[in-house]
Amino acid sequence: MTAYSDVRKATHLNLQPTPIMDHNTASIRRIVATLRSRTASPISFLRSAHLDLSGRIKPVYTLDEFQPASATLAKARGSCSQRMACLEALSRANNIATRVHGLWIDGRFWYPRFYVSRPFIPRRILLAWPQFFASDRWIDFDELHGSTEELAMKSSDGFSNAGETLFEAVAHTAVDFYGKSSQCGVVCSTTQFDLSKYVVGDEGLFDTRDELFAKFGSLQNTIRGSIFEFAFGGRKSV
């Protein structure tokens, strides 16, 4: 069963603070208070929070999956995964439940960014893809700003991973790891939105990203990860 068809309701585990999503910190609470005053619904809050973080946090390369969201915000720079963790933290602080889907992504997905250093890219990389419980259903990160079909209508091209990051791209184009675009008819038929060919493993749903990385580990703790962090850590990713 794919994540977007799951109907399990949220629990307290999907709302509580964690070492990564430390939404009980003052810095996160201040941002949430400001965003809450400008939004009228959970989905509008999520969209505003996503756009706010896109402007607030500069995209850089780093593999530190365990960095607290408050630290990423303080540094004002972070990876896609770290910025997703920040969005989850802001969401939980506003009583919007979150969880993640653990997907193993083929290392070739990142080849367009690392031509010379491709030998250091592992065969597969674990991705924590967030979901948010709003409007009495779980919404995938890639559909915060509209359905797959709606996003496909806004863009003539799919996500290539050669320029802007995953985190920014979901605001205006379909970033489809689930193959949803193959089911949305003529609108999607001539485009390159379907990224499901890069999904080489599925670990299912986890109440927290902390739990996912605690179980399967993080690339940062491998030899390849250490080399990558030494060579690229902190470098601008777009």
* Predicted local confidence at residue 38, as pLDDT: 92
Mean pLDDT, the chain, whole residue set: 88
Q: Is the pLDDT of residue 137 over 70?
A: yes
* Predicted local confidence at residue 188, as pLDDT: 62
User: What span, in angstroms and rounded, lies between the C-alpha atoms of 132 and 134?
Assistant: 6
Instruction: Label residue 111 by pLDDT band (50, 70, 90).
Output: confident
User: What span, in angstroms and rounded, lies between the C-alpha atoms of 22 and 133?
Assistant: 19
Q: How many CA atoms lie within 13 A of 220 on its CB side?
A: 15
Looking at residue 133, the DSSP 8-state letter turns out to be: E
Answer positive or negative: Cα dihedral of 128, 120, 175, 165: positive
Looking at residue 39, the DSSP 8-state letter turns out to be: -
* Predicted local confidence at residue 218, as pLDDT: 86
User: What span, in angstroms and rounded, lies between the C-alpha atoms of 238 and 216?
Assistant: 28
Q: How does pLDDT run across 14-52, given as a tens digit for each residue?
A: 999 999 999 999 999 999 999 999 998 999 999 999 999
Of 70-79, 106-115, 183-192, minimum mean pLDDT range: 183-192
* Predicted local confidence at residue 158, as pLDDT: 78
pLDDT greater at residue 182 or residue 34:
34
Q: Is the pLDDT of residue 180 over 80?
A: yes
* Predicted local confidence at residue 4, as pLDDT: 43
List the chain domain ranges.
Answer: 9-137+199-232
* Predicted local confidence at residue 185, as pLDDT: 64
pLDDT greater at residue 92 or residue 194:
92
Q: Which residues contact 95 (CB under 8 A, 6 or more apart)?
A: 15
Instruction: Label residue 69 by pLDDT band (50, 70, 90).
Output: very high
Q: Are 91 and 113 in contact (CB under 8 A)?
A: no
Q: How does pLDDT run across 153-178, given as a tens digit for each residue?
A: 887 677 888 888 999 999 999 899 99
Report which of 105, 127, 95 is spatially closest to residue 15, judged by C-alpha positions: 95
pTM as predicted? 0.91
55-to-39, 85, 111, 123, 193 alpha-carbon distances in Å: 18, 15, 26, 32, 25
Residue with tokens 């995953």: 166
**Which two structure tokens, joined as six digits, stand for 79?**
């990876």
Q: Report the CATH number of the 9-137+199-232 domain.
A: 3.10.620.30
